Structure 1
Amino acid sequence: MKPDYQKVLAAISEGDVVSLLQDLVRIPSVYSPDEPGRNEERVADYVAAFLRNMGVEVHVEEVAPGRPNVIGIVRGTRPGPCLLLEAHSDVVTPGNPAGWTHAPFGAEIVGRRLYGRGACDTKNGITSAVMAVKGVLESGVDFPGSIMLAIPVDEEGMMLGIKHFIEQGWADSVDAALICEPEDNRICVAQKGAMRVLVHVKGKQAHGCMPFAGVNPNTRMAKFILEVAAYEQQEVQRLGRHPYLGVPSLTPTVVKAPAEGEGQLNVLPADCLVAYDIRTVSGQNHEQIYKDLQGIARRLEDADPEKARIELEWIEDRPVTATALEEPIVQAVAAAYRLLTGREPVYDGVPGATDGTFLSAWKNIPVVVTGSGVREVPHQYDEWVDIDQLLETTRLYALAILEFLNGAGAAHY
C-alpha cells in the first residue's frame, strides 16, 4: 500500500468514529412538522460545526423551514476532478418506543453493535464520509481536485434536499458521486426506479345493512388490485431477473376507505384510496406503466354497470439508474476495496431509490452506492450497525477519495 494511503488510514481513529456516530444518533432528526425540534435542523447544525472545526468550507442552505442542507468543500492543491460524498440527515420515525429493546435515540453499544434510529440509515453514512475526509486532511497528504460533502434533508420523503442541492448549482462541478447508504460495502452500480401512484375509486355511501342502496368502492378497488397483481406478474415474466436489481414490483402499500376521515363498521364508504409503491428495472418505461394502469381502470369502469369512477394520480417519478463498471468512480471504489480487504468486491444494485437517483437522472453524474449496514435493517425496530464494518467503510471511503482524485478520476479529468 502507498505510504500516503497508510498515513490516511492511520489518521482514522475507531474511538473518534464511534463517538461521532453516537452523537448523531442521539440527535433525533425525524421530520415532524408539529415538532420543529425533531427535524433535521439540529443535526445539520452539529455537522456544520464539526466540519468547520475540521477547517472545511461550509455552506448551510435552508430547503424548507427548519430543514437545512449542509455542503462542505475541501480543495486540493491543484486542478482536478470533484468527488461528492453524500449522506442524508433525516431518519424515519422510530414508531412505538415500546417495540425497541434499546432506546431509539440512545446510541447504545452492545458487543460490536451500535443501536439507534439512523445508526444504519444513514447517520453511519454521514459519520464515515466526514471521518474519511478528516483522515485525509489530518494526514497532510497532497491531492488534486476537490472533495464535496453533501448532507441533505428529506431523502426519506420526497428528496427535496438533493433536488434543492442540484437546483442551486452545486452538482454542476461534480464529476462523480459516492452515495453513503447501507449496502454491506457492496459496490452498487444500479438503482431501481420508483413511481408513486394514487388510485381513487369513487362509489356511493350507504348504510351497511343496505349496501345495494350505495355503490361499493372497496369491491371495485379489490378488482383493480387483483388486475394490477396480474400485470405485475406479466412484467416479471417479460423482463426476467435483472442481474443487480432483481424483479419489478407494483405494491399497494396503503389502502384507506373512506379516503378522508375515519371509517365506521356499519357505513359503506363513499370512496377508497390506494397508494402504490412501484419499483422498476431496466427495460421498463414509466409513462407506459402509467398508461397501462389507466387502461386497467378504464376496462373496469366500462365493465361496471354502475360506472363507478377510478381516478389515478402520478405523484412521484424516480428513474432507473445504471453506472458502467468502466466508470472511474467504480474503478476507484473497487481498487480501494481490494487494497483495504485483499478481496474482490461484490457488485450489486440498490432495491430502492437514493438521492443518487436524481444526481444521475438530472445531471448525468456517475454514482456508486456503498456503505456499512445490512440493507434489511433500516426502518426496523432496534436498528443497528456493526462497528467493525463502520470502520471498514470509513477507511474504504478515504482510500476511494484518493484513488479517484489521484488516479481513475484524474485520468479522465
Structure 2
Amino acid sequence: MSTTDFLRDLIRIHSLSGQEGPLAGRVLQEWGALGFDEAYTDEAGNALGVVRGQEPGPGWLLVTHLDHVHEGDASLWEFPPFEAVLDGDTVHGRGAVDIKGPLAAQTYALGRLLARGVRPRRDVWVAAFTDEEIGGTGADFFVKNAPAEFGGVIVGEPSGSGLMLGHRGVATVRVKFKGRAHHASLALQDENPVFAAAEFIQRVRAHEFPEHPITGSTTLTVTQMFTDSGSENLTPNTVEVVLSWRFNEEDDVNRRTLAELLEGLPAEAELTPLWSRSNTPGFQTPPTDPLTGLVERYAGRLKAGSGVWKFATDGRYTAAAGWPTVGWGPGDEGLAHTTRERVSVRELEAYADTLAELLEREVPPER
C-alpha cells in the first residue's frame, strides 16, 4: 500500500458528517498495518493513532478529520466524485483535498519512519476528528478528554503545503424581519418585511470592519433568504436572512455590531453563544511564536512564507485548549468543497517526506 493507494481507498468510502464509522474503521486498519503502537476510536467516533517516541515529554498532535461535504450534482464533476480516479499525477474526488489527502500524507509520514525502523523523537498522535464540517464536536470532545500532553499541534487542512497561522471565527446568524401579509396590489411598503430586509442588507454591505494584523478583516456575508409567502401576488409576513460571519472581534463586540445593524428595523436575530455549533472563534498564532519558526523551517522548503485560512478548522479547539497550533497541509485550499476537488500525488509525497523528517528530528518548543 502507498500514500496514493490509501487515499484512493479513503475517497471511495462515503463519510458525510455523522456517517464516519466505516471510514474510521479503514483508517484504523491502515494504522495497524503500518505498525502504529495504538489505533482506536474514542466515544465521539474520532480515529486516534499513536506512535511512541524516543524521549519523554509533550508530544506532537497531527490533526485532520473524517467527514466531507456532500458531492452535489455528480454530473457536474469531470470525474465521478467517489471513484478516486488517478489521472497522471492527480487524484480526483470528494475529499481528495479536504481532507483525505492530508490524512493519507500524515499517516504515511509516520509509515515512512516505521518502515525504516525509526521512532520519532517524541510521541506522535494522529487525530482524525468527526463532525469537523458541521461545527467540530469530535475535536471538542477530544480536547475536553485529552489523552496526553501536547506541545505542538499541526492542523493538516490544505494550505498548498505552506505554513498557516490561523483563521477567523465563524458564526451563522439568522435574522427574521416581521411584517403583515397583504395583497400585492396594495403596495404597503411599511408592512412588507422585504423592504426592511433590503435596508438591513444595505447596512451589512456598507459596514466596515477593522483589519486584524494576522487574519485580515472580518467579513459578514448574506447567504440565504426565505419568506413565508407561497404566492406571487401576496407579500410575506416574515423574511428570514441568513448570514455567515467570519470574525476577529470578541463576542460582545459582535453582539453590539449586530444590534447597530438592526437598529430601528422590525426584526429579531440570534447570535448563539460561543462554542455552539453556529458560533466558534478562530485562532491566531503569532509569527514570533517558537512553534511558527520551527515548522516554517520545514514547510518553507515546499512553500515560502506564511498565510491564514479563509475557512475555519479544528485548530480553533486545540488552540483554545492552550496547545500551540499551526496549520500545514498539502493541496490547494481553493478546491475544497468544489466539483473540481483533486490533489497532486507529488505534493502529497513531498509533504509526507518533509513531515517525517520534522517528526524524526524535532521536539515541540519548550514554553
In the superposition, the TM-score normalised over structure 1's length comes to 0.82
**Equivalent residue number for residue 266 of structure 1:** 233
**Equivalent residue number for residue 196 of structure 2:** 220
SS at match of 2:66: coil
Task: Give CA-to-partner distance per residue, 1:117-153, whole Å, 9 cap, x none.
Answer: 0001000111011111111222212443310010111
> Matches of 1:19 and 1:97 in 2, distance apart?
23
> Matches of 1:226 and 1:150 in 2, distance apart?
43
Residue among 93, 97, 102 paired with 2:70: 93
Aligned-partner residue type, residue 219 of structure 2 = S
What is the number of equivalent residue pairs in this alignment? 362
**Equivalent residue number for residue 133 of structure 2:** 156
CA gap 1:309/1:335 in 2 versus in 1, 3 angstroms: closer
> Matches of 2:230 and 2:347 in 1, distance apart?
47
Cα RMSD of the aligned pairs, angstroms, is 2.2
SS at match of 1:72: strand
> Is this contact kept in 2: 1:193–1:321, CA < 8 A?
yes
> Matches of 1:243 and 1:386 in 2, distance apart?
32
SS at match of 1:183: coil
Q: Identity of paired residues, percent?
A: 25
**Equivalent residue number for residue 300 of structure 1:** 264
> Matches of 1:393 and 1:194 in 2, distance apart?
28
Structure 2, unaligned stretches of length 5 or more?
Answer: none
Structure 1, unaligned stretches of length 5 or more?
Answer: 1-14, 34-38, 302-307
Moved more, 309-318 or 160-169: 309-318
Residue among 107, 114, 124 paired with 1:137: 114
Residue among 341, 357, 367 paired with 2:316: 357
Shift of 1:373: 1.1
Shift of 1:17: 0.8
Aligned-partner residue type, residue 31 of structure 2 = L
Task: Give CA-to-partner distance per residue, 1:221-262, whole Å, 9 cap, x none.
Answer: 11111112212xx21xxx34x55533221011121113xxx7
State whether structure 2 residue 8 is matched by structure 1 residue 19.
no
Residue among 358, 369, 374 paired with 2:332: 374
Task: Give CA-to-partner distance per residue, 1:362-383, whole Å, 9 cap, x none.
Answer: x121111111111111111121
Aligned-partner residue type, residue 201 of structure 1 = F
CA gap 1:213/1:144 in 2 versus in 1, 3 angstroms: closer
CA gap 1:263/1:389 in 2 versus in 1, 3 angstroms: farther
State whether structure 2 residue 91 is matched by structure 1 residue 111.
no
State whether structure 2 residue 170 is matched by structure 1 residue 177.
no
State whether structure 2 residue 286 is matched by structure 1 residue 324.
yes
> Matches of 1:403 and 1:287 in 2, distance apart?
44
> Is this contact kept in 1: 2:3–2:104, CA < 8 A?
yes
> Is this contact kept in 2: 1:192–1:245, CA < 8 A?
yes
**Equivalent residue number for residue 248 of structure 1:** 218
State whether structure 2 residue 344 is matched by structure 1 residue 383.
no
> Matches of 2:120 and 2:213 in 1, distance apart?
36
Shift of 1:337: 3.6
**Equivalent residue number for residue 396 of structure 1:** 354
State whether structure 2 residue 19 is matched by structure 1 residue 55.
no
> Matches of 1:130 and 1:371 in 2, distance apart?
12
> Matches of 1:344 and 1:119 in 2, distance apart?
20
> Is this contact kept in 2: 1:83–1:148, CA < 8 A?
yes
Shift of 1:309: 3.4
> Matches of 1:129 and 1:296 in 2, distance apart?
44
**Equivalent residue number for residue 285 of structure 1:** 250
CA gap 1:77/1:370 in 2 versus in 1, 3 angstroms: closer
> Matches of 1:346 and 1:177 in 2, distance apart?
19
> Matches of 2:288 and 2:178 in 1, distance apart?
51
> Is this contact kept in 1: 2:222–2:242, CA < 8 A?
yes
